[in-house]
Amino acid sequence: MRERVRRHRWFLAVLGLGAVLRLLAMLGYRPALWFPDSYTYIVTVFRPRPDLVRPAGYSMFLKLLEPLHAFGAVTVAQHLLGLATGVLIYRTARRAPRWAATLAAVPVLLDAYQIELEHLLVSDTLFMFLVATAVMLATTARPATVAGIGLLLAAATLTRTVGQPLIVLLAAWFVLRGRIRLAGVLVAVALVPLLAYGAWFYATYQRVGLIGANGVFLYARTMSFADCAEMDPPPDLRELCDARPPDQRPPSQEYIWAQDSPLVRRPGITFTKETDDLAGRFAMLAITKQPLDYAGSVLSELARTFRWDRPVYPDAEIYGYYQFPDERPGPPGRYPAQVGAEYAKLYEQGAIGTEIVEPYAGWLRAYQSVARLPGTLLLAVLLVPPVAAIARRRAGDRPGNGLTTPPPWLAPWSVAVVLLITPAAAAEFDYRYVLPAVPVACLAAALAIGPAERRRREQGRERERSGRGRDERGRPGRGERVWR
């Protein structure tokens, strides 16, 4: 045990510091921090039915912890998931040098915004853990784990629908490795819970799908560029037009929630089947009529991910939820959140809210002002694998067996890229959507470094051996025998 601790001492130090920071969050902000989505998840715990906007996976997670009647237990569980994700990344990056594996785990363990996200009652930490575990198992490519990968990806999809393309992505990973049968098993296993949930959704709303807001969110996304003069929509779609020039329009999310949105002004709730279908038709028309504008809009949203600074976006209210507050947050304002707050009191079996306790909260706020992964560094991390692959190809490095099997970094790298692009393409950029992609991006970078580092070590050993020479009989010299 002493030898293991010595070998992994740097990672254990980072892990210990991450645990201390999470303890400070528990002491400084009791028992949890709230987000507008939190109340919707709580309602589903007590009124089990599919939500039109968010799948019920996180609500099921909350339901498992309900017997404890403590939101503090939820945040403890989420902080443990954050620590476990760091361990998974370090363990999976064992092919790389220990320094690279340790660095790969640093962002998820020490980023202040990651710790704050774990303290929020939202689905992203659970989603991140499920995805990281699935990717870890996929990199081993063991047949016995394929069913588990399918179940993990199904659970991730039922936690956040952005997990859907990951099922296809990791199935393609097995196909590239020549494991076509395993790819089929993965997809089949993943479809079972998804079809079951889809049947529940259909029985509730008589609609096909996992949620009922895809058209609405895509409509909001296209409103950053949609020009009805260029689109020439049919009469039934014209009511969704916005006469303001695109550069004078609010952020995309305002078209979903703001009272002056063309969608919100329609009769009934925003997410009826009629409204969602109408919004989806408008969005597809905008994309097909203005494909270059759509591509430019997606790239513009994606570029926010890689900025060095962290400007306020999409508005001060949402941005503020990702900061450790210095004042006690007020009660929810919107009616659905007020309903959820009443159910939250049943969950807690008492009053809810956030108690800010100094000096722990102040220490965390000071830490958050300096400790984060800037977007520009995330971009550098994403560039490491392709750059390393190009460098190896130029150096003439080929697999020893002559086969063109995909490198181990390709699976986590592809997952990270999809997790970053999908929200920008289908909804909008949000800071909390970036964090679940960071661990797998760092894992990909570490796995890409591994082969080059091993090759460098082997070359160094060969030079060392050749330098020690042989004796007059052609036998290894004393120094070479000692080296071996």
Residue whose C-alpha is closest to residue 276's, from 226, 205, 338: 205
> According to the model, what pLDDT value does residue 468 have?
53
Residue 301 has pLDDT above 70, yes or no: yes
Residue 247 has pLDDT above 90, yes or no: no
Q: How many CB atoms lie within 10 A of CB 476?
A: 15
Q: What is the CA radius of gyration of the chain?
A: 25
The whole-chain average pLDDT of the chain stands at: 89
Residue 346 has pLDDT above 90, yes or no: yes
| 8 A C-beta contact, residue 22 and residue 79 | yes
| Rounded CA separation 442/103 (Å) | 8
> According to the model, what pLDDT value does residue 340 have?
83
Q: If 0-12 CB within 10 Å is exposed, 13-18 middle and 19+ buried, where does residue 310 land?
A: middle
- DSSP state, residue 33: B
Token look-up 């993943």 returns 190
Which residues fall within 8 angstroms of residue 313, CB to CB, at 6 or more apart?
251, 304, 319, 429, 431
DSSP character string of 280-307: HHHHHHHHHHSHHHHHHHHHHHHHGGG-
> According to the model, what pLDDT value does residue 133 have?
97
This prediction has a pTM of 0.91
| 8 A C-beta contact, residue 108 and residue 86 | yes
Q: Please report which residue ranges of 111-163 form alpha helices under DSSP H.
A: 112-119, 124-140, 146-157
In a 13 Å sphere around the CA of 240, the CA atoms on its Cβ side amount to 30
- DSSP state, residue 393: H
Longest dimension (CA), the chain: 96
> According to the model, what pLDDT value does residue 457 have?
55
In a 13 Å sphere around the CA of 198, the CA atoms on its Cβ side amount to 11
Name the percent of the chain lying above pLDDT 90: 73
Task: Tell me the pLDDT band of 333, cut-offs 50, 70 and 90.
Answer: low
> According to the model, what pLDDT value does residue 337 have?
73
Task: Tell me the pLDDT band of 464, cut-offs 50, 70 and 90.
Answer: low
Residue 107 has pLDDT above 60, yes or no: yes
Please provide residue 470's backbone torsions phi and psi, each rounded to the nearest 5 degrees: -130, 160
Q: How many CB atoms lie within 10 A of CB 169?
A: 17
Which residues fall within 8 angstroms of residue 276, CB to CB, at 6 or more apart?
212, 213, 214, 215, 216
| Rounded CA separation 65/339 (Å) | 20
Give whole-number Cα distances, 113 to 107, 283, 484, in Å. 10, 33, 47
Question: What would the mean pLDDT of 405-430 be, rounded to a whole number?
Answer: 94
> According to the model, what pLDDT value does residue 329 have?
81
In a 13 Å sphere around the CA of 64, the CA atoms on its Cβ side amount to 7
Q: Where do the DSSP E strands lie in 195-349?
A: none
Tokens linked to 407:
């490198």
Least trusted range by pLDDT, from 180-189, 283-292, 336-345: 336-345
Tokens linked to 85:
């994700």
> According to the model, what pLDDT value does residue 463 have?
56
Q: Do the strands 355-356 and 29-30 form a parallel or antiparallel pair, or are they unpaired?
A: antiparallel
Please provide residue 30's backbone torsions phi and psi, each rounded to the nearest 5 degrees: -105, 135
| Rounded CA separation 229/225 (Å) | 12
Residue whose C-alpha is closest to residue 29's, from 327, 316, 319, 317: 327
> According to the model, what pLDDT value does residue 401 have?
43
Give whole-number Cα distances, 459 to 93, 130, 228, 462, 484, in Å. 22, 39, 63, 5, 15
Residue whose C-alpha is closest to residue 270's, from 258, 256, 260: 256
| Span 49-105, pLDDT tens digits | 999 999 999 999 999 999 999 999 999 999 999 999 999 999 999 888 999 999 999
Residue whose C-alpha is closest to residue 234's, from 278, 294, 291: 278
> According to the model, what pLDDT value does residue 470 have?
47
